[in-house]
Amino acid sequence: MNNTYCVIMAGGLGSRFWPLSRTAKPKQFMDILGTGRTFMQQTYERFSRLIPKENFLVVTNVRYRDLVLEQIPELGEEQVLLEPLRRNTAPCLAYALHKIRLKNPEAKIIVTPSDHLILKEEEFVSQLKNGLAFLDVKERLLTLGIKPSRPETRYGYIQVKKKKEFNDLDNLYKVKTFTEKPDVEMAKIFIETGEFYWNSGIFISSVGCFMKAFDEHLPEISQTFLKGEHLLDTPNEEAFIKKAYSECQAISIDYGIMEKATNVYVLTADFGWSDLGTWGSLYENKAKDEAGNLIEGDNILTYDVRNCIVNISGEKAAVIQGLDGYIVAESNETLMICRLEDEDQIKKFVTDVRIKKGDSLV
């Protein structure tokens, strides 16, 4: 697999996990599941079963450089690409693409978020191998889709078209459409049709195919990085990247490329995937007590509390009575109490706290 590279996107803030996830240390750098390994470390270890350590790149915000190197000491400093501004995932991929092309223009690349849960790692690695084998034969954009188990409104969906015949696989399809985060009624319809899968946000293709997609669908980003490619891996790289990011629009790979391209395929599978992006998704994926509560903390007493998430850090004590279906989360001197069904408002809470109380609390 020396011709395969992995790009880990690790620049997000994880604001939907506030106040546990903060700007200073977002959730990808935390052990939220209590496994002894952070999401970032688990992501690296998962892909290192397939890819040599020298073929990894982590793209993250400049302020998280030391966190990445501390958590993944196998990486060299040159493997951590530092973004001066947050511009979503398309500029992130463009930066990594041009770095990889200078080293290996024939490379295949797996692009992955840094903060997802995957329970069935053997099946996951098996599907990655199937995908890479497909790309050996066909120049395509490929993603991984997960069979939905419920009408989830927090995920993007992939609608499949006809099945693709390849190596006796029964789970490779041509993509018909991408749909972002439907309402619950539309999500129910998606489930009923049997044509829709959750979008994992993991993308696989060759350097050349990714480059063509940028040229066709995001030409301004493509040209911005192309004109400065000769400055990469030189002392002028940092200055060029600052300028490039100031010129790039903020847009995702999904919106910018995948929704527009006509040569996108999907491998559908069930490998125990969850985008652990919210308190609700954490609640779904961890064991609860007999009252349906997910309790994290050593000094918590509950009375008539049901179906709640309670996360109180350190030695702090908490006594909670009479709640049903709430999030009670405390971290770094900040307490949030919110109905679990209203967790979509957490991003608004973070914005309001930043405006009214300053950046130190977020």
Q: Which DSSP string corresponds to 281-304?
A: HHHHHS---TTS-EEE-SSEEEES
Determine the pLDDT at residue 333. 84
Determine the pLDDT at residue 1. 58
Strand partners, 108: 4, 206
Q: Tell me the whole-structure pTM to 2 decimals.
A: 0.94
Ramachandran angles phi, psi of 176, nearest 5° = -95, -55
Determine the pLDDT at residue 180. 84
- Those residues whose C-beta lies under 8 Å from the C-beta of residue 203, and which sit 6 or more positions away, are 110, 111, 141, 142, 143, 253, 258
CB 161 within 8 A of CB 174: yes
Rounded-to-integer distance, Cα 297 and Cα 311, Å: 6
Residue type, 311: N
pLDDT mean for each 10 residues of the chain (362 residues): 92 92 94 92 97 98 98 98 97 98 97 94 96 93 94 90 88 93 91 94 97 98 97 98 97 95 95 88 92 94 98 89 97 92 94 92 90
Rounded-to-integer distance, Cα 319 and Cα 190, Å: 42
Report the SS3 class of residue 62.
helix
Rounded-to-integer distance, Cα 97 and Cα 249, Å: 17
Determine the pLDDT at residue 158. 96
Domains and CATH numbers, the chain: 4-274 (3.90.550.10), 280-357 (no CATH)
Determine the pLDDT at residue 285. 87
Determine the pLDDT at residue 56. 98
